[in-house]
Protein backbone atom coordinates (compact mmCIF):
# COMPACT_ATOMS: atom_id res chain seq x y z
CA UNK A 1 0.00 0.00 0.00
CA UNK A 2 1.22 3.50 -0.79
CA UNK A 3 1.58 5.14 2.64
CA UNK A 4 0.62 8.48 1.12
CA UNK A 5 -2.76 7.10 0.05
CA UNK A 6 -5.40 6.29 2.68
CA UNK A 7 -7.76 3.46 1.84
CA UNK A 8 -11.12 3.78 3.63
CA UNK A 9 -11.46 -0.02 3.52
CA UNK A 10 -8.43 -0.23 5.81
CA UNK A 11 -9.93 2.00 8.51
CA UNK A 12 -10.77 0.57 11.89
CA UNK A 13 -14.28 0.84 13.26
CA UNK A 14 -15.54 0.56 16.81
CA UNK A 15 -18.16 -2.14 17.24
CA UNK A 16 -20.40 -2.12 20.30
CA UNK A 17 -21.93 -5.52 21.06
CA UNK A 18 -23.54 -6.24 24.44
CA UNK A 19 -20.24 -7.43 25.94
CA UNK A 20 -18.45 -4.10 25.31
CA UNK A 21 -16.79 -1.99 22.64
CA UNK A 22 -13.84 -3.12 20.56
CA UNK A 23 -11.96 -1.64 17.61
CA UNK A 24 -11.96 -3.85 14.48
CA UNK A 25 -9.74 -3.81 11.43
CA UNK A 26 -10.24 -6.18 8.50
CA UNK A 27 -7.48 -6.56 5.95
CA UNK A 28 -7.02 -8.84 2.97
CA UNK A 29 -3.50 -10.08 2.28
CA UNK A 30 -2.12 -11.92 -0.76
CA UNK A 31 -0.11 -14.12 1.63
CA UNK A 32 -1.48 -17.52 2.64
CA UNK A 33 -2.69 -17.93 6.25
CA UNK A 34 0.52 -19.66 7.39
CA UNK A 35 2.70 -16.81 6.16
CA UNK A 36 0.44 -14.22 7.80
CA UNK A 37 0.49 -16.23 11.03
CA UNK A 38 4.31 -16.33 10.98
CA UNK A 39 4.47 -12.55 10.49
CA UNK A 40 2.18 -12.13 13.51
CA UNK A 41 3.87 -14.61 15.86
CA UNK A 42 7.60 -14.91 15.05
CA UNK A 43 9.53 -12.42 17.21
CA UNK A 44 11.92 -11.41 14.42
CA UNK A 45 8.98 -10.85 12.07
CA UNK A 46 6.91 -8.87 14.61
CA UNK A 47 9.95 -6.66 15.22
CA UNK A 48 10.07 -5.82 11.50
CA UNK A 49 6.62 -4.17 11.43
CA UNK A 50 5.62 -3.60 15.04
CA UNK A 51 7.07 -4.57 18.39
CA UNK A 52 9.20 -7.63 19.05
CA UNK A 53 6.72 -10.01 20.63
CA UNK A 54 7.46 -13.53 21.81
CA UNK A 55 4.80 -16.17 22.33
CA UNK A 56 4.78 -19.46 24.17
CA UNK A 57 2.64 -21.21 21.51
CA UNK A 58 -0.34 -22.40 23.53
CA UNK A 59 -3.35 -21.05 25.41
CA UNK A 60 -2.06 -20.12 28.85
CA UNK A 61 1.42 -19.49 27.45
CA UNK A 62 3.51 -16.43 28.20
CA UNK A 63 3.69 -13.34 25.96
CA UNK A 64 6.79 -11.15 26.20
CA UNK A 65 7.04 -7.68 24.70
CA UNK A 66 10.19 -5.77 23.72
CA UNK A 67 9.37 -3.00 26.23
CA UNK A 68 9.49 -5.49 29.11
CA UNK A 69 5.73 -5.96 29.21
CA UNK A 70 4.45 -9.48 29.74
CA UNK A 71 1.14 -11.24 29.56
CA UNK A 72 -0.73 -14.36 28.61
CA UNK A 73 -1.80 -16.13 25.44
CA UNK A 74 -5.58 -16.47 25.79
CA UNK A 75 -6.14 -18.47 22.57
CA UNK A 76 -3.74 -20.15 20.15
CA UNK A 77 -5.15 -22.02 17.15
CA UNK A 78 -2.42 -21.93 14.51
CA UNK A 79 -2.90 -20.47 11.87
CA UNK A 80 -6.48 -19.34 12.53
CA UNK A 81 -6.87 -17.59 15.88
CA UNK A 82 -4.68 -15.78 18.36
CA UNK A 83 -5.75 -13.81 21.41
CA UNK A 84 -3.47 -12.34 24.01
CA UNK A 85 -3.29 -9.71 26.73
CA UNK A 86 -0.33 -7.99 28.33
CA UNK A 87 0.59 -5.24 30.74
CA UNK A 88 2.51 -2.39 29.16
CA UNK A 89 2.37 1.13 27.79
CA UNK A 90 0.40 2.32 30.79
CA UNK A 91 -2.28 -0.36 31.02
CA UNK A 92 -3.64 -3.78 30.17
CA UNK A 93 -3.75 -4.40 26.41
CA UNK A 94 -5.90 -7.10 24.83
CA UNK A 95 -6.14 -8.11 21.16
CA UNK A 96 -7.96 -10.85 19.22
CA UNK A 97 -6.80 -11.98 15.80
CA UNK A 98 -8.61 -14.25 13.35
CA UNK A 99 -7.22 -15.42 10.02
CA UNK A 100 -9.48 -16.90 7.34
CA UNK A 101 -8.19 -18.52 4.17
CA UNK A 102 -9.30 -16.88 0.95
CA UNK A 103 -9.07 -18.23 -2.60
CA UNK A 104 -5.86 -16.23 -3.05
CA UNK A 105 -4.54 -15.17 0.34
CA UNK A 106 -6.00 -14.51 3.75
CA UNK A 107 -8.41 -12.26 5.58
CA UNK A 108 -7.14 -10.82 8.84
CA UNK A 109 -9.67 -9.68 11.42
CA UNK A 110 -7.86 -7.72 14.13
CA UNK A 111 -9.79 -6.64 17.22
CA UNK A 112 -8.37 -4.25 19.81
CA UNK A 113 -10.36 -4.90 23.01
CA UNK A 114 -8.44 -2.85 25.61
CA UNK A 115 -7.47 -0.27 26.63
CA UNK A 116 -10.00 2.27 25.33
CA UNK A 117 -11.07 0.99 21.90
CA UNK A 118 -12.58 4.43 21.25
CA UNK A 119 -9.19 6.20 21.40
CA UNK A 120 -8.25 7.90 18.09
CA UNK A 121 -4.55 7.49 18.94
CA UNK A 122 -4.92 3.73 19.47
CA UNK A 123 -6.87 3.43 16.19
CA UNK A 124 -4.18 5.39 14.35
CA UNK A 125 -1.45 3.28 15.93
CA UNK A 126 -2.91 -0.09 14.98
CA UNK A 127 -3.81 1.17 11.49
CA UNK A 128 -0.19 2.30 11.05
CA UNK A 129 1.18 -1.03 12.30
CA UNK A 130 -1.13 -3.02 10.03
CA UNK A 131 0.02 -0.90 7.05
CA UNK A 132 3.59 -1.77 8.05
CA UNK A 133 2.62 -5.47 8.28
CA UNK A 134 1.26 -5.22 4.73
CA UNK A 135 4.56 -3.74 3.51
CA UNK A 136 6.51 -6.46 5.35
CA UNK A 137 4.42 -9.25 3.80
CA UNK A 138 4.90 -7.69 0.34
CA UNK A 139 8.67 -8.06 0.79
CA UNK A 140 9.35 -4.45 1.80
CA UNK A 141 11.22 -3.25 4.86
CA UNK A 142 9.29 -0.81 7.03
CA UNK A 143 11.58 1.94 8.35
CA UNK A 144 12.69 1.59 11.97
CA UNK A 145 10.74 4.57 13.30
CA UNK A 146 8.20 5.09 16.09
CA UNK A 147 6.10 7.37 13.87
CA UNK A 148 6.21 9.16 10.54
CA UNK A 149 4.13 11.45 8.33
CA UNK A 150 1.75 8.56 7.53
CA UNK A 151 1.15 7.97 11.26
CA UNK A 152 0.49 11.69 11.78
CA UNK A 153 -1.98 11.62 8.87
CA UNK A 154 -3.75 8.65 10.48
CA UNK A 155 -3.91 10.50 13.81
CA UNK A 156 -5.67 13.39 12.04
CA UNK A 157 -8.03 10.97 10.27
CA UNK A 158 -9.14 9.24 13.46
CA UNK A 159 -9.28 12.45 15.52
CA UNK A 160 -11.53 13.94 12.84
CA UNK A 161 -13.70 10.80 12.74
CA UNK A 162 -14.21 11.11 16.51
CA UNK A 163 -15.25 14.76 16.36
For 28, 77, 100, the CA distances from 110, given in Å and listed in that order, are 11, 15, 12
pLDDT of residue 19: 84
Average pLDDT over the chain, rounded to an integer: 92
Please state the pTM of the whole predicted model: 0.90
Q: Is the pLDDT of residue 114 over 50?
A: yes
On the CB side of 88, how many CA atoms lie within 13 Å of its CA?
A: 17
The pLDDT-based confidence of 4 (bands split at 50, 70, 90) is: very low
Beta strands in 39-90 (DSSP E): 53-55, 62-65, 70-77, 81-88
Q: Which of 15-24, 39-48, 147-156 has the highest mean pLDDT?
A: 39-48
Q: pLDDT by residue (tens digit) across 63-88? A: 999 888 899 999 999 999 999 999 98
Confidence (pLDDT) at 145: 84
Domains of the chain: 10-162 (3.30.530.20)
Nearest by Cα to 43 from 66, 59, 62: 66
The 10 Å Cβ neighbour count of residue 18 is 4
Amino acid sequence: MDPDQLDPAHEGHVLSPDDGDYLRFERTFASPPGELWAALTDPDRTAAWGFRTGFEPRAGGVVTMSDGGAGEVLAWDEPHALEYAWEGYGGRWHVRIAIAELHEGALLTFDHVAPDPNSPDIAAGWHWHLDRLELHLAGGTPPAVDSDAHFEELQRLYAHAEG
